[in-house]
């Protein structure tokens, strides 16, 4: 059985809203994006990493 990869994320406030990045175990960015508000950014991250909101 293969285990799911461990992922980490960051959220940061930007001029246009909130930017987010998802990192793998080696510190490489595997996804990134931006949303107009923090709640939307957190929801996008949660959807990609498979966590409940």
**Domain boundaries, position 20:** 8-49
First to last CA, the chain: 27
Q: Domain holding 37: CATH number? A: 3.30.160
Q: What is the mean pLDDT of residues 2-29?
A: 92
Indicate whether 36 belongs to any domain: yes
Rounded Cα gap, residues 37 and 13, in angstroms: 9
Indicate whether 32 belongs to any domain: yes
Q: Which residues pair with 35 in a beta bridge?
A: 18
Q: What is the mean pLDDT of residues 24-41?
A: 96
Indicate whether 1 belongs to any domain: no
pLDDT for res 52: 59
Q: What is the mean pLDDT of residues 26-50?
A: 96
Buried residues in 34-45 as b, exposed as e (16+ CB within 10 A) = ebeeeeebbebb
Indicate whether 31 belongs to any domain: yes
pTM of this prediction? Answer: 0.83
More confident residue, 52 or 7: 7
pLDDT for res 50: 85
Q: What is the mean pLDDT of residues 19-33?
A: 97
Residues 6 or more apart from 12 whose CB is under 8 A from it? 18, 19, 20
């Amino acid at each position: 059985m293969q285990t799911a990869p461990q992922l980490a994320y960051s959220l940061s406030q930007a001029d246009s809203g909130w930017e987010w990045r998802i990192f793998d175990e080696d510190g490489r960015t595997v996804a990134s994006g931006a949303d107009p508000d923090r709640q939307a950014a957190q929801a996008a991250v949660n959807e990609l990493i498979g966590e409940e909101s």
